[in-house]
Every structure is written in C-alpha cells, then in structure tokens.
Amino acid sequence: MGLPVNGALDQYSARAANILVANHENAPLVEALAFDIAFVPSVDILIAATGARMTLTVAGAERPMWEPVPVAAGQEVRLSDMTGGMRTYVAVHGGFDVPELLGSCAPDSVIEFGQQFADGAAIPLNASTRAPVNPYFGMSLFNFDVAVPYFGDTAVIDVTDGPDIAEFAGTADRLFRAPYVVSTRSNQIGLRLTGDLPERATEGEMISRGVPVGAVEVPPGDELLVLHRGRGVTAGYPVLAVVTSTSLDTLGQARPETAVTFRHVSLEHASRDARAWRERLDQLRDRVATVFSCLGVEPCSAHAPTGRGTA
Amino acid sequence: MTVRIRIQETGESAIRVSGASGDREIDWRVVHKIARAVTTPGIDGVHSAIPTYESVLIEFDAERTSLAAVHAIVQAVAGELDPDEPLTHAPREFVVPVLYGGEHGPDLPDVARLTGWSEEAVIAAHLAPTYVIRCLGAPGGSPMLDGPELPVPVPRLTSPRTHVPQGVVSLAGRQATITPAAAPGGWSLIGRTPFTMIDLSSEPLVPYAPGDSLRFQRIDAERFHELEGQRLRATEAAL
C-alpha cells in the first residue's frame, strides 16, 4: 500500500488503557501529547488513563492513573501536570465512534488522515454500555496493580544489529559509547538525536527499500534518526541498528532533552522481551475480565479493528 | 527453476528478503510474489510486507510468531513460486502530465549540470520510457520507477527539504517517482503533475499497482491550471 501501520507510539500504555476498561486492546482511544486535557461526558462512563505521568482528577477529586475510573455524566475529567513521558492515553469503556481508514483511526500526518481535537470538540461514543459508578464517593473500585513503565530524563533503548551494519565498518560501536540527546525536531515519524554519529564507510546511492519501525539511520546532517510508527515505508539509507519492539514504547515517551543510552542485545533477548510484554498484557486482560464479570460489566468485543494500530 | 533469495534479520519483528538471482527483473517478480504470498490471510503473525525493487521487508509480531517460523514460511513460499510468470497479467497504463522546470522543478538545472546535458535533454530522457511501476513507496504510496537513462546517478540532496508538495516529479539515484502526498524529501525535483494521485475515500488509496505501466506527457503552465486537481486514472484499454 505504501503506507505505514501507524498508531500509538507507546503501544504498551495504549493497549493497557483499553484492557483496563474491557475494550479490545486495539480500540480507538485519545492520545494527549504533552498538554493538559479536560472533558465532560454526557453519559456515565468508565475510563482509564495510562502513559505519561499526569494528575487525573474527576470533579476535582484525584483519581489513580492505570486503573479503571468511573465518571458520572456531567463530571469534569482533567489530566494535568505531565511530569514524565510525552504521551498520555485515555480509553473509554465501549470506545469512540470515529472515522477509520483501512481499518484504523490512527492519524497519518502525511496523507492527512485522522482527528486532532481542538477546544470544544465533541467525540461520539459507541452505543453506551452501563458503566459501574461507585456509589461510595472517593473510593477506587479497582486495584489491578498494572506494571507501570518508568519515564524519566534518561532512557535505555535496546537495539539489535541492522541488516546494513557492515556499511558503518569500524564506527558502528559509537552508538553505544555515550548517551544521545533527543532533539526537538522529533515527532511520530521519527526521533532525531544528537551525539557522536557513526559514519557510513561506503558511498553511492542506495536503492529504496522497506524500512522497519525502529530503524536507526544516519541521514545527511548532524543527527541520528530513529524511525517510529509514522515513518515512510521505504527509504534509501542503510539501516545500522533496529530498536526492539519493547524499547519503541520507551522511545515513544522520550521527550526532547532525554538522554538516550543505546544497548546492544541479541535477537533472542529481543524476542523474549516481546513475549514477556505480551504476557503482561494478557495477564492484565484476564484479571480485568474476572473482576468485570463479577461486577456485571460487559466486555466490548464488538469493536475489534481488523488490522492496524491504536489511535 | 529454483528461486534464489537471501534473508537478513532486521530486528526481532522483521526480515529483509532479497532476490539473489543476479537478474533484476526476476528478483523484482520474486520479492513481490513473496510479499503477496505471506500477506495472504491465514499466515499467523505476519502483518505486513513492503516489496520494493529487489527486496521485501516482512514485518510480524514477535510475540505471536518467531523468526524461525517466518524464515520457514518464506523458504516454503519461495520454493513454490514461478519466477518467470508475469507479476500482472493485465497491466494498466497511466499517463501523467508534467510541467517541467521552473518553480515546480527547481532542481532541473542541477540535474542538467550534473549530467552535462541541457535541461531539454534531461526532460527528453525522462519522457522517453514507458515505465513499469516497481513498487509503492513513501510518502503515501508513491509509484516507484526505474530512473530515466542518464549518464550518472542523481545523488540525494545533502540537505533534504522539510516540505515537498504533492504531485512533484523527482529523481534520486537510478530511480524516479511522483509524490502523492506532501512530505519532507531529499530527491531532486524536476517537475510537477497537476493530477491528484491519492483518494482517501477509495480503497486502495492510489489507482495504480506494481506491474502497471506509466508514461509522462509534457504540458505547459496553461494546461497545468486546466488539469489541476483532476484524479489520475488508468487509460481506457484499447478495444
């Protein structure tokens, strides 16, 4: 198709948010990028906020992130003061009714698809399902004890060797010597980092090839480029290294000025981490299903997007 | 005839499979056929394949399948395909009008200087071939072509542009393309088509596919304005 899969840059947080409200883990959700957001539902809803650390309040009372939180119609939900990370996700039980392209609602800035919400925007919900609203004001109904990732001023990012590492003969190791710093020119297409750059040993024009999400490249200029989910699917630069799928979540939360240390791992190590990531989400889904069935909350299996990523 | 391929690991969730026959046409057909076969519904865990000129990047969920399993699938698929069978049995033809040079093709003078040719000679070389669409690339499903016959490959810009508008006709290395969507870019811009290539209300979003053929047709500024915004469509088949 010539288009990237796209979707949430921190897949673990986005999927956990959906799982916590008994949605399909790929259901559309809202991503708050660096700024505060507030909204008021017109019906009773169950929400979960995950990702970058923020203060979550419902009608002025503080509520936990990474847990399902009931909200009554008319109560204001506010997420403010992001203190670690870049992207906070908000899922609503039942999901949002939003336009999809090729089975995904994920924004794509290149083909100009997707929704960005401005002040005063209304987002339609799917057919409302009964939300469990806690009759005891101020008490949390749930405690799922989700494994919450750390987002801070430093990040350790695992990479495996890229298919074109030989093109950087003798300088590939520079990637691991000292931390790189995330530049403000980073976005959902790729992160740009400053530091001691490996150098291409070969010259000449490469033919365009498919590039994976996580590809580490050294394009012309003075920055390292790490491609993320919004990347163009083809490029003509050699791939020095590939960020592991679990470390891509961490990179998706790396703000400008974050000091990134790259760490070399084996493919076996990277595959093991990917399976452990899946097990954590599967176990969370099982715990949520057990608790919700006791409470009489219906899981939302109706909306299961076919292919691509999450909002 | 056995199909020769080379498989390279590309992280724990992808492999790059390259044709290794020594023949560009065969390699191109082979990687596109592998792409089709592995994205056929029913192959668990593989979620996309990006075939280009001589390689295909196959992406999968490392949590659901393994590198070894995907290797085995690719070997099995490669063992069964016919590398000589055409990729498309009924290729369509697309004719793309282009206004060359000036503000729409700011790099045409540089390409001329690089080749030692006149701008007119570069344009003539670009107009000459009937191109085969080799693959769909970035941004937005660009039709990737083999470049025109120039004496030297066209280097990528040392400082890529942060914004290249949609419809731009460009060259890099031994490749040529048209960009359906605005994006940053490091290719040399030699002209622009007034046509719109991408349609978000249709599926697929672009009207052409790998294996179709494409020709460029020179137009002037007046014709450019008349055609601006029209959709690119395949030429009606001759009856």
pLDDT exceeds cutoff 70 at B27 = yes
Burial of B36 (0-12, 13-18, 19+ CB in 10 A): middle
pLDDT exceeds cutoff 80 at A115 = no
Mean pLDDT of chain A, nearest integer: 86
DSSP characters for B166-192? TTEEEEEBTEEEEESS-EEE-SEEEEE
Tens digits of residue pLDDT in B117-176: 999 999 999 999 999 999 999 888 899 999 999 999 999 888 888 889 999 999 999 999
Q: Is A211 on the interface with B (CB under 8 A)?
A: yes
Confidence of residue B94 (pLDDT cuts 50, 70, 90): very high
Beta strands A190-194 and A209-210, pairing class: unpaired
Residue B60 CA to residue A242 CA, distance in Å, equals: 14
**Which residue out of A25, A233, A306, A308 would a mutagenesis test of the B interface target, given it has the greatest number of B Cβ atoms within 10 Å?**
A233
pLDDT exceeds cutoff 50 at A302 = no
Q: Is A216 on the interface with B (CB under 8 A)?
A: no
Nearest to A234 among B48, B50, B54 (CB): B50
Q: Is B74 on the interface with A (CB under 8 A)?
A: no
For residue A33, give Cα distances in angstroms to A79, A105, A113, A149, B216: 11, 17, 17, 17, 43
Residue B149 CA to residue B132 CA, distance in Å, equals: 14
Helices B119-127 and B108-115, interaxial angle, to 10°?
100
Extents of the domains making up chain A: 11-150+276-295, 154-268
Q: Is B135 on the interface with A (CB under 8 A)?
A: yes
Query: Residue B237's pLDDT is what?
Result: 61
The CATH number assigned to the domain with range B93-227 reads: 2.40.100.10
Residue B84 CA to residue B79 CA, distance in Å, equals: 13
Extents of the domains making up chain B: 5-80, 93-227
B5-80: CATH topology? Gyrase A; domain 2 (3.30.1360)
Neighbours of A12 (CB within 10 A): 25
**Which residue out of B7, B8, B13, B47 would a mutagenesis test of the A interface target, given it has the greatest number of A Cβ atoms within 10 Å?**
B13
Based on C-alpha coordinates, what's the Rg of chain B? 19
CATH match for A154-268 among 2.40.100.10, 3.30.70.20, 3.30.1130.10, 3.40.50.300: 2.40.100.10
Residue showing tokens 């008021």? A40
Nearest to A235 among B61, B138, B158 (CB): B138
Of the candidates B118, B121, B98, B127, the one whose C-alpha atom is nearest the C-alpha of residue B220 is: B98
Task: Check: CB of residue A167 under 8 Å from CB of residue A199.
Answer: no
Tens digits of residue pLDDT in A66-100: 999 999 999 999 999 999 999 999 999 988 887 77
Percent of chain A with pLDDT over 90: 59
Neighboring chain B residues of A277 at a CB cutoff of 8 Å? 63
Mean pLDDT of chain B, nearest integer: 93
Task: Give the length of chain A.
Answer: 311
Is cis: bond before B139, omega within 30 of 0?
yes
Residues 2-31 of A with CB under 8 A from B: 2-5
Largest Cα–Cα distance of chain B, in whole Å? 58
